[in-house]
Amino acid sequence: MTATKIAIMGVGKIARDQHIPAIAADPRFELAATVSRSGGLDGVENFATLSELIAARPDIPAVSLCMPPSVRYEAAAEAIAAGKQTMLEKPPGATVAEVLDLARMAEEAGVTLFATWHSRHAEGVAAAKAWLADKTITALRIDWKEDVRKWHPGQDWIWEPGNLGVFDPGINALSILTEIVQVPLHLTGAELSFPENRAAPIAADLTFAGPGFIAEAAFDWRQEGGEIWQIAVETTAGTLRLIEGGARLFLDDSEQTVHGRGEYPDLYHRFGDLIEGGARDVDATPLIHVADAFLLGRRLVVEPFNE
């Protein structure tokens, strides 16, 4: 089997921390080039623009787009139009309409488009989904709290409109929620807390209605002393808890043994499967819930945030 040559566009923190090691460890992929205006990696050919990559390296059939979501659409559209198998970091776009449009374009072009939600690939998620499949949910609670200074050091772009603010981590929780809970949910209330000097929320409290239960979520970027990334699901057959972002699973306080490749290795494994099968995986639901939170949410102004 020949490894699929892949290019990464957007060589920032997430690419260096996650994508590049995951590609290096996957025998089905070979990192063949990067696209970055600010420089790439030692020993890997770099292009300033995607257009230059497409023109110069027709031997590279796949691209993984890791830049901020506000500039992802144009690159994704260009990659799809060039027939590239395309993987998108989360969130898959700056708007819901963009994502639906890209899905349609990929289908028409017959190329693989994988709009990834890395948290869905945490080790405990598949087991949680399987356990919940025949249970009756009575309540659900998400706490997703981390320190923005730790996780987004110096990333001022994250506060600009279109980059989601605290929903950037919060959408990870929503991506797990919409994976493990296979009944439809819709937002019924939201409070979004904006620092008075920022254009994006630093905290959000959401309430969703599901059939027969309420789901509540608290997102906060002001957490200090260690992150809390957990989802607790009460059912008539006991309580399920995912902690550490979905990596560990508990049923009624008894930790379950779970297995997995790890989030990003599993993402690339799935991308490889989608390419081999000529398939696509584009689920806009987590982003729809976030857009709904902005649409429906009441805004609170809180103290300024300075890094």
- Using CB under 8 A, list all residues that contact a copy of itself: 73, 93-98, 100-101, 104, 161-162, 164, 184-187, 190, 199, 285, 288-292, 294-299
- Tokens representing 275 are 């390419």
**Residue 135 near residue 110, CB atoms below 8 Å:** no
Taking the least distance from each CB to a copy of itself, the nearer of 150 and 299 is 299
- Tokens representing 84 are 């590239």
* Residue among 90, 135, 145, 150 flagged as catalytic: 90
Q: Parallel, antiparallel, or unpaired: how do β-strands 248-251 and 113-115 relate?
A: unpaired
Supply the minimum distance, in Å, between the C-beta of residue 136 and a copy of itself. Answer: 18
**Residue 213 near residue 138, CB atoms below 8 Å:** yes
Query: How far, in Å, CA of 181 to CA of 294, rounded?
Result: 22
Supply the minimum distance, in Å, between the C-beta of residue 296 and a copy of itself. Answer: 5
User: Catalytic residue at 145?
Assistant: no
**Residue 89 near residue 33, CB atoms below 8 Å:** no
Helices (H), the chain: 13-14, 20-24, 50-56, 72-81, 96-109, 125-132, 148-151, 167-180, 263-277, 285-296
Supply the minimum distance, in Å, between the C-beta of residue 67 and a copy of itself. Answer: 16
Supply the minimum distance, in Å, between the C-beta of residue 57 and a copy of itself. Answer: 26
Taking the least distance from each CB to a copy of itself, the nearer of 11 and 284 is 284
Taking the least distance from each CB to a copy of itself, the nearer of 20 and 185 is 185
Taking the least distance from each CB to a copy of itself, the nearer of 131 and 213 is 213
Q: Hey, which residues are catalytic here?
A: 90
